[in-house]
Amino acid sequence: MDVAVLGATGDVGRQICTQLVERQVLPTTSRLQLVGRPGGASGRAVHGLRADLVDAYDEHAPVLDVALDPTEVVADVVVVAAGRTAPVGGGGAPPSRAELAAANAEVFRAYADALADHGSGSEVVVVVSNPVELGVAILAERLGRHRVVGMGAWLDTLRFRREIAVQLGVRRHRVGGFVGGQHGDDAVPLWSTVRISGLDVAERQRAVARLRQGRTLATFPAEVARAKADLLAVAATDVAAAFALIDSWPPDLRALARPWMTHQSGAKTATGTASATIDLLETILDGRDIVVAGQVALAGEVSVGGSPVHGVLGVPVVLGPEGWSRVLLDPLPPDEDARLAEAGAAVAAGCAPWTGALPGATPATAEEWQR
C-alpha cells in the first residue's frame, strides 16, 4: 500500500515521513509520496527531504515520490499534516482555534476537493493538522465520513494511558482507556473506560478512585485553566520547576498540561504526534481492525446529553483498512456524558463557519449539533 504525507516538510510531517521509513512500516515496493506546495518553501524543501531520507535509509526505504499539487496526490492512505501551526514559546499570544481554522480551512478544502475529483474513491485519510475536528468535517463532507479519522483523540488517549501507568508503576501497554471530545482544552478523559491488566473489577475501581482523588469532570475545565495560569507563572522564572509541578497533579490533568507546557517551553510535540500517527497507519496498512480513539463525523451512532450526536467528535471507534466502521461507547457516567456533550457543542460551533452538512447529518452548528 502507498502513503502520501501532505505537509511533508513541516515539523510533524517530517517526523511522520522519517518514522515511516526508519521503522520500516512500508516495504521497499510501496511508495511514500512527499507532498509540498508549489512556489513556497516546502516546494523546494520536499526535494531535499527526499534526498535526505534516501541518504539515511536507502537500503530499506520505500519508493520516494514528490508531489507539488493537490491533484497529484495518489495513495491508499493520505496523512494531512499541512497548514498553519501554533508557534512555540511564550512570545505573544498563540493563535486561537478560530484563527487556526480560518487559516487552515482552505488547505483542508483544497485537498478534499482534489481527492474527491482525482482520487481512487477508497483512500483512507488520517487528519493530523489542527483544528483536527475541522479537517475531519471538511474532508468527510467530500470523501465520505467513514474514510476520514482525526488522530488527536488517539494522541490524547496514549498520553492519558501513560500518565496512569506512571502513577501506578506499570508499563503503558497494561493500561486501557480512552480520551474523547475535542483535541485541546475540551478533551474528555473517559475514566469509565479505564482497564488495568492484572486487576479485577474491584481492584480497578479502587485504583481509579485513588487516581481521581474524589474529583469529577464537572470541575475539569476550570482545573485546566488554572493549571495553565500556574504553569505560566512558574515557568516565567524556572521551566524545570513548571514540569515538576505537573508531576504533582492527577493523571488526567497531567495528560493535558504536559504537552501544553512542552509547547510553551519552546520545544514541540512533533515526535509524539508522529508516533501516534504511525500507530494508526500501521493498523490501516496491516489490514487489522482495532479499537482506537479518533475524531470522526458521527450521524447519530451515539447519544450524549440525551440526544444523538450529529457532527464531529472524538470517540472510541473500530479502525481498519477501509476506515472506521463503528463506534464502541457504552453508556457513560453523568459527569463524562455532560462533558462530552459540552465538547461536542464546542466542536460544532468551531466548525460551523466553514462547513455545511455532513452526509447523513444535520448542519454542524452549535444549536443543531444535537437533535
Q: How far is CA 181 from CA 204, 250, 342, in A?
A: 24, 19, 9
Confidence of residue 94 (pLDDT cuts 50, 70, 90): low
Residue ranges of the chain assigned to CATH 3.90.110.10: 152-371
The pLDDT score that the predictor gives to residue 95 is 67
Q: Return all residues near 101 (Cβ < 8 A) that are at least 6 apart.
A: 131, 134, 350, 351, 353, 354
The pLDDT score that the predictor gives to residue 358 is 44
Greater confidence (118 vs 94) lies with 118
The pLDDT score that the predictor gives to residue 206 is 97
What superfamily does domain 3-151 belong to in CATH?
NAD(P)-binding Rossmann-like Domain (3.40.50.720)
Q: Tell me phi and psi for residue 299, to 5 degrees.
A: -135, 50
The pLDDT score that the predictor gives to residue 201 is 95
- Report the 10 Å Cβ neighbour count for 228: 16
Name the 3-class secondary structure at 69: coil
The model's pLDDT over 263-284, given as tens digits with 9 standing for 90+, comes to: 999 998 999 999 999 999 999 9
The pLDDT score that the predictor gives to residue 368 is 35
User: What is the Cα 145 distance to its own chain's centre?
Assistant: 16
Q: Nearest-CA neighbor of 314 among 339, 294, 341? A: 294
Q: Is the pLDDT reported for residue 363 higher than 70?
A: no
The model's pLDDT over 98-127, given as tens digits with 9 standing for 90+, comes to: 888 999 999 999 999 999 999 999 999 999
Q: Nearest-CA neighbor of 279 among 123, 173, 140? A: 173
* Alpha-carbon gap, residue 283 to 299, rounded angstroms: 24
Residue whose C-alpha cell is 515557568: 235
Confidence of residue 256 (pLDDT cuts 50, 70, 90): very high
Name the 3-class secondary structure at 134: helix
* Alpha-carbon gap, residue 197 to 162, rounded angstroms: 14
Rounded average pLDDT over 54-62: 97
The pLDDT score that the predictor gives to residue 41 is 87
CATH class entry, domain 152-371: alpha beta
The pLDDT score that the predictor gives to residue 367 is 37
* Alpha-carbon gap, residue 85 to 164, rounded angstroms: 29
Cell, residue 191: 475514566
The model's pLDDT over 33-47, given as tens digits with 9 standing for 90+, comes to: 999 988 888 899 999
Q: Tell me phi and psi for residue 48, to 5 degrees.
A: -65, -40
The pLDDT score that the predictor gives to residue 109 is 96
* Alpha-carbon gap, residue 174 to 161, rounded angstroms: 9
Cell, residue 166: 506512571
Rounded average pLDDT over 220-240: 97
**Which amino acid, 313?**
L
Q: How do 124-127 and 307-320 pair as beta strands?
A: unpaired
The model's pLDDT over 112-171, given as tens digits with 9 standing for 90+, comes to: 999 999 999 999 999 999 999 999 999 999 999 999 999 999 999 999 999 999 999 999
Rounded average pLDDT over 24-40: 94
For the stretch 172-195, what's the b/e string if a residue is b when 16 or more beta carbons lie within 10 angstroms of its beta carbon? eeebebbbbbbbbbbbbbbbbbbe
The pLDDT score that the predictor gives to residue 364 is 36
Q: Is the pLDDT reported for residue 78 higher than 60?
A: yes
Q: Return all residues near 17 (Cβ < 8 A) that are at least 6 apart.
A: 5, 8, 32, 34, 49, 53
The model's pLDDT over 344-361, given as tens digits with 9 standing for 90+, comes to: 999 999 999 998 644 433
The model's pLDDT over 297-343, given as tens digits with 9 standing for 90+, comes to: 999 999 999 999 999 999 999 999 999 999 999 999 999 999 999 99
The pLDDT score that the predictor gives to residue 224 is 97
The pLDDT score that the predictor gives to residue 39 is 81
Confidence of residue 93 (pLDDT cuts 50, 70, 90): low
**Which amino acid, 213?**
Q
Average pLDDT, the chain: 93
Residue whose C-alpha cell is 489490514: 287
Rounded average pLDDT over 240-255: 98
The pLDDT score that the predictor gives to residue 98 is 82
Greater confidence (236 vs 360) lies with 236
Name the 3-class secondary structure at 86: coil
Q: Return all residues near 223 (Cβ < 8 A) that are at least 6 apart.
A: 215, 253
Alpha helices in the chain (DSSP H): 11-22, 41-57, 97-118, 132-143, 152-168, 201-212, 220-235, 239-246, 251-264, 270-286, 334-351
Q: Is the pLDDT reported for residue 185 higher than 50?
A: yes
Asked if the peptide bond before residue 221 counts as cis, ω within 30 degrees of 0, the response is no
Q: Nearest-CA neighbor of 188 among 314, 324, 329, 331? A: 314
Cell, residue 28: 521497499
Percent of residues, the chain, with pLDDT higher than 90: 87
Percent of residues, the chain, with pLDDT higher than 70: 94
pTM for the full predicted model? 0.93
The pLDDT score that the predictor gives to residue 242 is 98
Residue ranges of the chain assigned to CATH 3.40.50.720: 3-151
